[in-house]
Amino acid sequence: MPASRTVPDLSSAARLRSIFSGSVGNLVEWYDWYVYSAFALYFAPAFFPKGNLTAQLLNTAAIFAVGFLMRPLGGWLMGVYADRHGRKAALLLSVLLMCAGSLLIALTPSYQRIGVAAPILLVVARLAQGLSVGGEYGTSATYLSEMADAKNRGFYSSFQYVTLIAGQLLALLVQLGLQRVLSPGQMYAWGWRVPFVIGAAAAVSALYLRRSMAETDAFEQQRPVAAGSEKPAGKLAVLRRYPREVFTVVGMTLGGTIAFYTFTNYAQKFLVNTSGFSKADATLISFGALAVTVVLQPLLGALSDRVGRRPVLLFFGVGATLATVPLLTLLGRTHDAWTAFGLLLIGLVIVSGYTAINAIVKAELFPTEIRALGVGLPYALTVALFGGSAEYVALQAKDHGVESWYYWYVTACAAISLIVYLRMPDTKRTSRLDDEPLSM
């Protein structure tokens, strides 16, 4: 094994600045990703002018799912890149891709002007964004977990979903603002383009911030080992040495990603299309519930630093398995905004048991030389197959008059994850984040 070079310890201030810069970039990327879902109700007619509202939403949801299909490729390519060339370099590349995708959506003419080229360009843009987000998750989870001090890893890593949800909140806030200053006709005609322009501009700012981030000590210590190895860091051949860890990531993600997208992305459309709320009211209800949820992430992350990761995951697994069907059934029947807010918030509180700590749990499963790929690829595959298709499956069930089947589908996936949580070790006690880099 080659001799490792000495890596200077970062000061607390420098560590916090790097965590902040990485988190802000994460916020911008997820804002760009969620703007698509938040404004789909408005731009669907521009790209798919024929059919009723459900049919238009099905088309936009299909492209939303197509974007998810790129996430495994992004998780693989960015994971390999991050494990070989650094977490910082990969995070810079991912934000550049997101910027390009948002700008393309903002500038693409409508179907009426350029015909079928419009939805094709929309697909291209979502493919670029899917590649970006696929790489962003594993790399940012790795970066935050490696940058945090050992006693507060759950707390600091929770900011991945703080910024992820904050990105969604920002998308909804922009939507609420535009709904107040623009008429419905203006929103359908050109107003929906504004948030994509904002996203592209914000991505440039995130790029500037990320340029000042420090690389993690764990990667710097691993760099000479990876450089001198016949099997470079990040190779799939190396990942195959950790089958149990890979399947653990898949199993714990399955229920979490479907529940998350159900109570966040799809909830707004559900409130309009099933409960009968106006678009503005549905946006306000979703915004309020998500705003409360943001506060829960660091609290549950800090709790996991005290009691362990497994009890927090079990809170989600049991809650989602038992509560999904009654929550969605009642939510679909209510016409009272406060009742809808309360039901949605209960669902999001349960989901927070997964979102607050899933990044640190996955990072603790893998050694440094394969961490970004190990976290990113199996997660992205699971999200692509189940999270990305959740909205499409839900709308198909509604379109066929069997909407309640979707509730049970979410429940079944949560139950599978619960079994994984019951059988897996508590990664706080078995963490590989403190392992010395090993020759491969």
Give the integer Cα–Cα distance in Å for 301 and 309. 8
Please state, for a pLDDT cut of 70, what percent of the chain lies above it: 88
Cα angle 207, 148, 227; round to 5: 70
Lowest mean pLDDT among 152-161, 221-230, 374-383: 221-230
More confident residue, 41 or 166: 166
Give the integer Cα–Cα distance in Å for 265 and 434. 36
More confident residue, 47 or 250: 250
Residue pLDDT, tens place only, 387-431: 877 888 888 888 888 888 999 999 999 999 999 999 999 988 888
DSSP symbol at 116: T
pLDDT at 84: 82
Structure tokens given for 222: 């691993």
What is each CA distance from 162 to 167, 271, 296, 370, in whole angstroms?
8, 24, 9, 25
Of 21, 14, 17, 75, nearest to 207 by C-alpha is 21
pLDDT at 304: 94
Per the prediction, the chain carries an average pLDDT of 83
CATH number for the domain running over 12-232+242-429: 1.20.1250.20
Cβ within 8 Å of residue 178, ≥6 positions away:
187, 191, 194, 195
Of 86, 96, 94, 211, nearest to 142 by C-alpha is 86
pLDDT at 2: 37
Of 334, 377, 352, 400, nearest to 70 by C-alpha is 377
Question: Mean pLDDT across the stretch 338-353?
Answer: 96
At 153, which amino acid appears?
A: R
pTM of the predicted protein model:
0.81
pLDDT at 138: 81
Give the integer Cα–Cα distance in Å for 106 and 117. 14
Structure tokens given for 7: 């890596």
Residue 134 near residue 70 (C-beta atoms within 8 A) = yes
Of 141, 78, 92, nearest to 433 by C-alpha is 141
Residue pLDDT, tens place only, 289-324: 999 999 999 999 999 999 999 999 999 999 999 999
pLDDT at 54: 63
Of 141, 162, 184, 238, nearest to 41 by C-alpha is 184
